Amino acid sequence: MNTAAAAGAAEPVPALAAHTDRAELRDPVFISDLHLNDAQPRTLAAFLQFARTLAITHRELVILGDLFEFWVGDDADDPIGATVAVALRDVVAAGTAVYLMHGNRDLLLGRGFCAASGATLLADPTVAQRGAEKFLLAHGDAWCTRDLAYMAFRKQVRDASFQRQFLARSVAERRAFIGQVRATSEAGKQVKAMAIMDVTPTEVDAALAAAGVQRVIHGHTHRPATHRFVLDGKDAERWVLPDWDLDHAPARGGYLTLRDGWRVQTIAGE
């Protein structure tokens, strides 16, 4: 697939919803990297339970990317996607706003999914505000700049003409392409150094400085941690959310809340 489409790269892709880069949060709960798919029923069940119980006790549910293992397009009639859309719609109906950021795996979530779920797409990155507090929200993959192969891949799949051509293909063709990408990506990860697959600290510093904030929340790396450091003479924090996997040992997953101080809690597997 080349990028020599008639429509310009800057023109928005019709199937993809507009993003908002404003998030005024009152009592949010953050999750990321659930990688929901039909081969991981326990993880899906844990998410559905989380949505029905804990999420609705918050004012906002904020999903920082890779909610799905992969997303072929809103028109693919994915049964897991439909189940999750209904679960999110119930969260919205209970009075909890749902914000959804694209990850590197589900960057094609678009207008159809937003309409079905009631979720609002959040730009990556977004500066969120909670009272007097401001902090940055991101998936995290854009800061993995030492992974040159990934950077090149990312640039291509974020190109609007490429996306338009991709979405014009049949669902079967798209699935086959994504299958090849996943296989290539998994093989590549076996031989990439761990540091290459993490964010570049100076990129995070630059993003914090550009946003004028001292704290960031992101996912993607599957290396949950709270990094505390000094930036321009002030205390700064980088909160890395855990991925979820309740189908393989050791079971893992968790969420970040801010209401009693910033705190990550783990999801218990059944």
Binding at 157: pick from ligand LP5, Mn ion, none (beta carbon under 5-8 Å per type): ligand LP5
Q: Which amino acid is at 2?
A: N
Phi-psi region of 250 (alpha: psi -120 to 50; beta: other; left: phi over 0): beta
Contact status: 73 vs Mn ion (CB under 5 A): no
CB 139, CB 103: distance < 8 Å: yes
For residue 252, the minimal CB distance to Mn ion (Å) is 15
Cis peptide before 125 (omega within 30 of 0): yes
The residue among 103 and 110 lying less far from Mn ion, judged by its C-beta, is 103
Helical residues (DSSP H) of the chain, grouped into ranges: 41-52, 79-93, 111-117, 148-157, 160-168, 171-191, 201-211
222 binds Mn ion (CB under 5 A): no
Q: Judge contact between 65 and 30, C-beta under 8 A.
A: no
Q: How far is the CB of 24 from ligand LP5 (least distance, A)?
A: 30
Intra-chain end-to-end CA distance of the chain, in Å? 44
Segment near Mn ion (CB under 5 A); pick from 9-17, 87-95, 100-108, 153-161: 100-108
Give yes or no for residue 66 binding Mn ion (CB under 5 A): yes
Task: Report the alpha-carbon distance of residue 166 to residue 178 in Å, rounded.
Answer: 11
Do residues 244 and 223 touch, judged by C-beta distance below 8 A? no
User: Please, what is the minimum distance in Å from the beta carbon of residue 210 to ligand LP5?
Assistant: 21
> Which residues is 200 bridged to in the sheet?
none
Distance of CA 218 to the CA centre of its chain: 8
Q: How far is the CB of 150 from ligand LP5 (least distance, A)?
A: 4
The CA distance from 158 to 72, in Å, is 14
Enumerate binding residues for ligand LP5 (CB under 6 A).
70, 104-105, 108, 141, 144, 147, 149-150, 153, 157, 162-163, 166, 177-178, 180-182, 184-185, 188-189, 192, 197
Among 96, 104, 161, 163, binds Mn ion (CB under 5 A): 104
- Closest to ligand LP5 by CB, 60 vs 147, is 147
Q: Residue 198, interface with Mn ion (CB under 5 A)?
A: no
Q: Which does 35 bind (CB under 5 to 8 A by kind): ligand LP5, Mn ion, none?
A: none
220 is an interface residue for Mn ion by CB under 5 A = yes
Tell me the closest approach of the beta carbon of residue 157 to ligand LP5, in angstroms: 4
Determine the length of the chain: 270
- Minimum gap (Å) between residue 259 Cβ and ligand LP5: 30
Q: Would you tell me which residues interact with Mn ion (CB under 5 A)?
A: 66, 103-104, 220
